[in-house]
Chain A
């Protein structure tokens, strides 16, 4: 595709529900990143993949958060037993070569609201 796409664009969940957020990176991009952006804040790093390998998950806030990229393209961020503090925009980004200094291209984000 022309850019990074994410679905759904908006998700409302009741506290305690599990959610799954999807990211389709730019075709051929090696690296894929997930960021969380709370209201009024900048994006904060969650995790990143190079192909199917999850190389850094230091930003995941708790073990309720889980990300996968099994075939090295599409990625899913799963949040179990959602809490109100999980409400945020979840941004996915991809970069071409997985080299240092590569530009990261962002998708439009999924806005998650936990009631």
Chain B
């Protein structure tokens, strides 16, 4: 069973507009969430994270929102740029469980059109 779900395999947006990538999780023990960005033939690159004690974290053009009651998080990119085109992975960990392992979703491929 997938504990972290990214239900949109792909998303296409126009340059300058907002990109919103969504992620749902089922394990209530997850308390730390991350977004990674991946270009072809490269490893995932850390983008932004959020702890479950917060509901929002912002870093430049990137903002992550966490809705614990809905077990849902989203990544907002504004304004979107062509260089943002990549696969975005949502990941979660249960830090209080004593393990640092990350559980990933299947990813959403974002295409930003010039």
Q: Is A98's beta carbon under 8 Å from chain B?
A: yes
How many residues from B make CB contacts under 8 Å with A? Answer: 27
> How far is it, in angstroms, between the C-alpha of A32 and the C-alpha of B84 when the chains are bound?
28
> How far is it, in angstroms, between the C-alpha of A104 and the C-alpha of B46 when the chains are bound?
7
Contact with B along A72-115 (1 / 0, CB 8 A): 00000000000000000001010100101111111111000000
Closest to B42 in A: A108
- Cross-interface CB contact of A106 among B4, B32, B45, B106, cutoff 8 Å: B45
Enumerate chain B residues within 8 angstroms of A100, measured Cβ to Cβ: 32, 93, 95-96, 100
- Cross-interface CB contact of B89 among A43, A59, A98, A108, cutoff 8 Å: A43
Given A43-B89, A100-B95, A101-B51, A108:B100 Cβ within 8 A: no
Enumerate chain B residues within 8 angstroms of A105, measured Cβ to Cβ: 46
> How far is it, in angstroms, between the C-alpha of A59 and the C-alpha of B99 when the chains are bound?
12
> How far is it, in angstroms, between the C-alpha of A45 and the C-alpha of B97 when the chains are bound?
15
Contact with A along B78-95 (1 / 0, CB 8 A): 000000000001010101
- Cross-interface CB contact of A48 among B46, B91, B100, cutoff 8 Å: B100
> How far is it, in angstroms, between the C-alpha of A91 and the C-alpha of B91 when the chains are bound?
15
List residues of B whose CB falls within 8 A of some A CB: 4, 6, 32, 34, 36, 41-46, 49, 51, 89, 91, 93, 95-96, 99-107
Q: List 21 A-B contacts (CB under 8 A).
A: A31-B100, A35-B102, A35-B104, A40-B106, A41-B106, A41-B107, A42-B6, A42-B91, A42-B106, A45-B103, A59-B101, A93-B43, A95-B100, A100-B95, A100-B100, A101-B51, A101-B93, A106-B36, A106-B43, A108-B43, A109-B42
